[in-house]
Structure 1
Amino acid sequence: MYDVLVIGAGQAGLAAGYYLQRSGLTFLIVDAASSVGESWRKRYDSLRLFTPRMYDGLPGMPLSGNENDLPSKDEIADYFENYAKQMKLSIKLNCSISRLSKQDEVYYAETNDGIMEARNIIVATGPFQTPNVPPFAKSLSKNIVQLHSSEYQNISQLLLGTTVVVGGGNSGAQIAAELTSDDQQTVIHIHSSRYYL
């Protein structure tokens, strides 16, 4: 029985762990990934944060390097791994939760490694775990390469010609900027409040 079970070992889960460790409460951070920072390593090659390094550190450990530079995805993944080790956070990897229930003030998390019990739960899984693809995408020609930003790695996945980037969020803007730097690509960038890349 833990006082707190934290679901997700990304930036929010690690920051929660930092403060929980100082609280004296018993806690465990669980994550389905095989390493801390894995989800960052899987994102597109050119990803850089939109905020400078001086604002990107977690509590108790600043991000090293030029404070005005924008860190890459791999730098952030390395930083998260080092942070977890440096802070000696209690983390269980390769642990996915299929069901969470509550009975008599106790939470029960059904995992691939048995049932875990906790008095409190912090869900720190992040909002972008499931791609949002509009239904009409299925009716487009099979000759059109369609990639969600979670599948995109680099320009080599695309056909020569015109690329339409749908979505004006960070990923859509950054991918569109990357594609416009290639003379072989014509980029149409559609900002939409309803559908996101």
Structure 2
Amino acid sequence: MEHVEAVVVGGGQSGLATAHALVRAGLKPVVLEASGRAAGSWPHYYDSLTLFSPARFSALPGIPFGGDLDRLPHRDEVVAYLTACADRLQADIRTGQRVIAVRADGSGFTVELEGGGRLSARAAVAASGSFGRPHRPDLPGLETFAGQVLHAADYRSPTRSPGSAWWSSGRGTPRFRSPPSSPAKAARAWPRGRR
């Protein structure tokens, strides 16, 4: 079993910010990211995602966003920014490493990886978010609904289902008493910057 000072589970913005803080505290963290690059779930968010806060307020500690700091960065800009942050960070970032369990073992933690790998650490931080395991509520009438039910985690763009009505639901998405009659009405109901 490999012994490390600290393990951060998740290589998105929270995981990278945590690793930055651990490095500043004099530790040598290992960041374990399940996907193929350190950008967390950002590459999987919907195509037209734009932040609703300016770049100046969306940067990680110590690494400013480049360009116009008053702009609202697009999803792909955030992915590129997080990837650049990971490259600059003085931490051991390991991609393709899915954590399946973290157990307290008295002197610290044992981190178990998919495929059988294990690490021992004095400290462990969960920064994995919930996007990889979306909540899919049991909606009344779902078993008889003939249309498509699309979770926010599966949504990419309105062109995915041209000519059909759809409804997306999940934590962090707007809730309505009844679904809008068209995607256009749903888009108008969403706050600016979250389309």
Structure 2 segments unaligned to the other structure (5+ residues): 191-195
Moved over 3 A (4+): 161-169, 186-191
CA distance in 2, matches of 1:168, 1:132: 7
Give the structure 1 partner of residue 193 of structure 2.
Answer: none
Tell me the CA shift for residue 27 of structure 1. Answer: 1.7
How many equivalent residue pairs? 181
- Are residues 44 and 19 of structure 1, via their aligned partners in 2, closer, same or farther at CA, if it must alter by over 3 Å? same
Tell me the CA shift for residue 135 of structure 1. Answer: 1.1
1:110 counterpart SS class: strand
Tell me the CA shift for residue 102 of structure 1. Answer: 1.6
Give the structure 2 partner of residue 30 of structure 1.
Answer: 32
Give the structure 2 partner of residue 52 of structure 1.
Answer: 54
Give the structure 2 partner of residue 100 of structure 1.
Answer: 102
Say yes or no: does 1:67 pair with 2:62.
no
Give the structure 2 partner of residue 128 of structure 1.
Answer: 131
CA distance in 2, matches of 1:123, 1:114: 18
1:109 counterpart SS class: strand
From 76, 86, 89, the counterpart of 2:88 = 86
1:57-87 Cα shifts (integer Å, max 9, x gaps) = 1111111121111111111011001011122
Using structure 2 for the length normalisation, give the TM-score. 0.81
Using structure 1 for the length normalisation, give the TM-score. 0.80
Give the structure 1 partner of residue 15 of structure 2.
Answer: 13
Q: In proportion to residue count, which structure has more helix?
A: 1
1:152-189 Cα shifts (integer Å, max 9, x gaps) = 111122252544454694x559xx9xx42xxxxx5498
The answer on whether the counterparts of 1:164 and 1:188 sit within 8 Å (CA) in structure 2 is: no
Tell me the CA shift for residue 127 of structure 1. Answer: 3.4
Code of the residue aligned with 1:15 in structure 2: it is: A
Structure 1 segments unaligned to the other structure (5+ residues): 181-185, 192-197
CA distance in 2, matches of 1:131, 1:163: 18
Give the structure 2 partner of residue 147 of structure 1.
Answer: 150
1:88-137 Cα shifts (integer Å, max 9, x gaps) = 33101110111111222221111135110001111111133322222136
CA distance in 2, matches of 1:77, 1:165: 23
Over the aligned positions, Cα root-mean-square deviation in angstroms equals 2.7
The answer on whether the counterparts of 2:43 and 2:79 sit within 8 Å (CA) in structure 1 is: yes
1:88 counterpart SS class: coil
1:22-60 Cα shifts (integer Å, max 9, x gaps) = 222232111111111152111111011111111011111
1:1-38 Cα shifts (integer Å, max 9, x gaps) = 22211111111111111121122223211111111115
Code of the residue aligned with 1:86 in structure 2: it is: R
